[in-house]
Amino acid sequence: MGLNIDEQKAVERFRKDVVDPSQTHLVVLDFWAEWCGPCKALAPMLEKVCAEYADKGVILAKINVDEEPFIAGQFQVKSIPTVYAMFQGQPVADLTSARSESQFKQVLDQLLSQLPIQGGEGAPQGPSEEEIAQFIAMGEQALTEGDAQRAAGIFAQVVECANGNATAQAGLVRAMIALGQVDEARQALAALEAEPSLASDPAITAAKAALELAGTQVDDGELAGLKAAAESDPSDMDAGLAYAEAAFAAGDRDAAADTLLAMVETDREWNEGAARTKLLQIFEAVGLEDAWVVSTRRRLSKILFG
């Protein structure tokens, strides 16, 4: 067809993520970009409603126009956000103007009444594992971007329709912690640990580690004081550890890691390796597969074995 390799790969990704699912489902296709403020304002509503309509056969797919310019060009996207409804590989409605939740639901209800969408009576209830994984990924991205409120909403929607999903449950606990709702997070975690099928899941273990680290939360003034104490005397390991714990609890994981790595480099055996142990606890709380964790682990390995 005269496409170059990158364009062929883009088409294949679009086929897998949008065209194939649209054969039996209604795919809401959201064209967006990181720099687009209106896109980020619209995203929580799209995610919420699509999660609510998942058992009716609605799936949300997102296309970053900076990463997929060829696909955006094929749809002649001139401005963002642009939102289409796709069925059987074809756009069946332009949803861009439906900016409120009620407007969006009204349009979806109309489309679902007219199209033979998989869902409703006689069809499997609840979202598929693939759809659940998609929403969990969105929740994790929101947490990474510091939007804990949005993450909590996404994880809560997943928990509502897949209560046994440990990753979503743990994500909701971590979002609560990020919002400062430590007591609520502690209660939620206690309930999860009481469930034998969930208690030993790695995601729950990570949430527990995050909750333990959240116990050192302080206000901005106290954090500034701890930072000043640590920086004024780098040899004061107790001050460094106190600041690192508080910095992580405040959401500044880079500052926490930098402090702990410097402590390990200075004296890895201090207090039975407390700095390294705390860093490993942070890794567990964030998630061992997280890109930041992978990068920081390399820095730790370089200090220990380089």
Just list the catalytic residues: 36, 39
φ, ψ of residue 116 to 5 degrees: the values are -80, 65
Q: Are 180 and 143 in contact (CB under 8 A)?
A: no
φ, ψ of residue 25 to 5 degrees: the values are -125, 165
CA 90 to chain centre: 29
Beta bridge partners of 86: 27, 91
Query: DSSP code of 179?
Result: T
CA distance 298 to 104: 45
Q: How wide is the angle at C-alpha 173 spanned by C-alphas 133 and 160, nearest 5°?
A: 55
What is the helix (H) or strand (E) element at residue 31, kind and residue range? strand 26-32
Q: Are 140 and 156 in contact (CB under 8 A)?
A: no
Q: Are 254 and 271 in contact (CB under 8 A)?
A: no
Alpha carbon of 18 to those of 49, 59, 83, 177, 286: distances in Å? 18, 9, 13, 34, 30
